[in-house]
Chain A
Amino acid sequence: MADILVNNLNLWYADFQALIGVKAHFTQKQITAMIGPSGCGKSTLLRVFNRMNDLIEGVRVEGEVIIDAENIISDKTDLVGLRKKVGMVFQRPNPFPLSIYENIVFGQKVHAEGLTKLKLNEIVEDSLKSVLLWDELKDKLNKSALSLSLEQKQRLCIARLIAVKPEILLMDEPCSTLDPQATSRIEELMRELKNNYTIIIVTHNMQQAARVSDQTGFMLLGELVEFGKTEDIFTRPKDKRTEDYITGRYG
């Protein structure tokens, strides 16, 4: 398991500065929620941690993001290794148009670990069990993953991540396409997973942040305004802007 230590992180999309001097410490075995209005940079910050921003042209990053004593911003970072360690769940569930089974063993196959069929089966079972899908899906592993419900798809995406044994889980509004019941079940799952991972969740939903997280960070216009224990942020925020946001005065 690993912490993420962020120090003086700046990020530009061409001329636009999307992150300004961000400084934070994400601790293992904790769920950290990132809140803030649209366009405040919370998703951008998340995408620095697994270098997904590299897919966008014209991105420039400066500063330090230390994971396991390594600054992952560096050009020398092994992206494959980093992304194996830092997994991501997206806003829209994005299972591949393959079977359920193939979706889960995808990570194993790309990392070429040369596992036997038996071992792969075991991984599929374990990963599906850890997201509580095994009983529902064990008889239809060869069905297309696209035939599942939205919630099942999102769980499958989490299972697919767990199968590569990451240390950090990044969740970018993982419940925004789900109904309230599915949302609460995914939150339940997050609480179960937090003992084994460092979890960071970006969310628009402040109740969700308050419900599931241990730490919360509030971002505004690219700055991390306040970062601390969730209780403190929601009950006695230090910054006026945080207070305005959580009391619904803007955002």
Chain B
Amino acid sequence: MRKIKEFVIEKLILVCGLASIFFVILIFLFLTKEGLSVFKSVSPFNFLFGKSWYPISEPPQLGILPLILGSLLVTLGAAIISIPIGVACAVYIAEIAPLKIKEILKAGIELLAAIPSVVLGFIGMVTLVPWVKTTFHLPTGLTALSGSIILAFMAMPTIVSIAEDALYSVPKSYKEGAFALGATHWQTIYRVLLPAASSGIVAAVMLGIGRVIGETMAVMMITGNAAVIPQSILVPVRTLTATIAAEMGEAVVGSEHYFALFAIGIVLFIISFIINVTADLFLHKRH
């Protein structure tokens, strides 16, 4: 009797475990089936590197290079802003802050992670966008820069909490060893603790970036959504994610446009996959 119970429970857990993989495979198959159809009308090269995205002109022009560059530009900007601040914040929480401040900061970071992206986008729209417009004397404040700043806020919680974890799990003996050799606190941090935690910190950064590149709502609200190849960070751009979200509703099912949106989904899927695998590699290196 007991054996049967064990057996049933074990198999049930196995099924649950396999289910998640099964769903991922299903999603990927569906994406591929719908997405690959676009290559009947446009070559993969022209799809990825075509310079114009006019999906409803006749014939439709389905080049997603402006969208890829839009995503990359916004992500790069967000990374440049969030990595130094995020890592510095993690160092402060893990090493310098007194216990009380540490607790408050950690709660604050968690709260930041809990803000829905549409709320961040909305706040960005009414505060950040006008500020960017007047500060840089632009015709519009809906720019890649605005998107980068808001996305930096969204990447920060991930970067801070994982990097803090990485720093925290550096053996205490390293710190003692450095202090015992007469190193100051700061020297200990940048010569010993940061290098020792580096793989975890890289993973933190990758996961933060992964979050940014997949983000949709906030970027759609504040980046201006112009599908042109950006010449600077101060012009409107459109990201891969925003394109799918904005156009899926109006694309005719079964049209080239519809398939192209799925193909964009594949591109996003592959980018996220690469980022996550890289982060995983670094995380495992740590252990």
Which residues of A come within 8 Å of B, CB atoms?
50, 52, 55, 79-84, 87-88, 90, 92, 94-98, 106-107, 109-111, 157, 160-161, 164
Contacts and interface: CB of A to CB of B under 8 A. Distances in A.
Contact of A96 (B179, B184, B192): B192
A111 B192 CA distance: 15
Contact of B178 (A79, A92, A106): A106
Contacts of A164: 181-182
B174 interface: yes
A88 B195 contact: no
B210 to A, nearest CB: 26
A96 B196 CA distance: 8
29 contacts: A52-B176, A52-B179, A80-B182, A80-B184, A81-B182, A83-B182, A84-B181, A87-B181, A88-B180, A90-B176, A90-B180, A94-B176, A94-B177, A96-B177, A96-B178, A96-B192, A96-B195, A98-B192, A106-B178, A106-B181, A107-B182, A110-B178, A110-B183, A110-B184, A110-B191, A157-B177, A160-B181, A161-B181, A164-B181
Q: Is the interface of B mostly helix, strand, loop or mixed?
A: helix
B176 A110 contact: no
B57 interface: no
B98 to A, nearest CB: 10
Interface centre among A80, A81, A83, A94 (most CB of B within 10 A): A94
**Interface size, B (range):** 10 to 19
Nearest to B171: A94
Given A92-B173, A109-B191, A110-B191, A50 B180 contact: yes
Interface string B160-198: 000000000001011111111111100100011001100
B174 A83 contact: no
A111 B184 CA distance: 9
Interface of B: 171, 173-184, 187, 191-192, 195-196
A111 B173 contact: no
A80 B180 CA distance: 9
Nearest to A81: B182
Contacts of A94: 171, 173-174, 176-177
A80 B182 CA distance: 4
Contacts of A110: 178, 181-184, 187, 191
B214 to A, nearest CB: 33
A53 to B, nearest CB: 11
A107 B175 CA distance: 13
Contacts of B182: 79-84, 107, 110-111, 164
Contact of B179 (A55, A98, A111, A160): A55
A225 B180 CA distance: 28
Nearest to A86: B180
Contacts of A107: 181-182
Contacts of B196: 96-97
Contacts of A88: 180
A79 B182 CA distance: 7
The list of the 6 closest CB pairs from A to B, nearest first, reads A94-B173, A83-B182, A84-B182, A88-B180, A110-B183, A94-B177
Given A55-B179, A94-B176, A96-B195, 11 more contacts: A52-B176, A80-B183, A81-B182, A82-B182, A83-B180, A88-B180, A90-B177, A98-B192, A98-B195, A110-B181, A157-B177
Interface centre among A50, A109, A110 (most CB of B within 10 A): A110
A87 B174 CA distance: 15
A112 to B, nearest CB: 9
Contacts of A80: 182-184
A94 B183 CA distance: 15
A55 B176 contact: yes
A46 to B, nearest CB: 11
Contacts of A50: 180
A97 B181 contact: no
A52 B180 contact: yes
Nearest to B170: A97
Contacts of A161: 181
B273 to A, nearest CB: 30
Contacts of B195: 96-98
A160 B181 CA distance: 8
A170 to B, nearest CB: 8
Most buried by A among B174, B177, B187, B191: B177
A52 B175 CA distance: 11
Contacts of B179: 52, 55, 83
A106 B192 CA distance: 9
Contacts of B192: 96, 98
A82 B176 CA distance: 15
B180 A106 contact: no
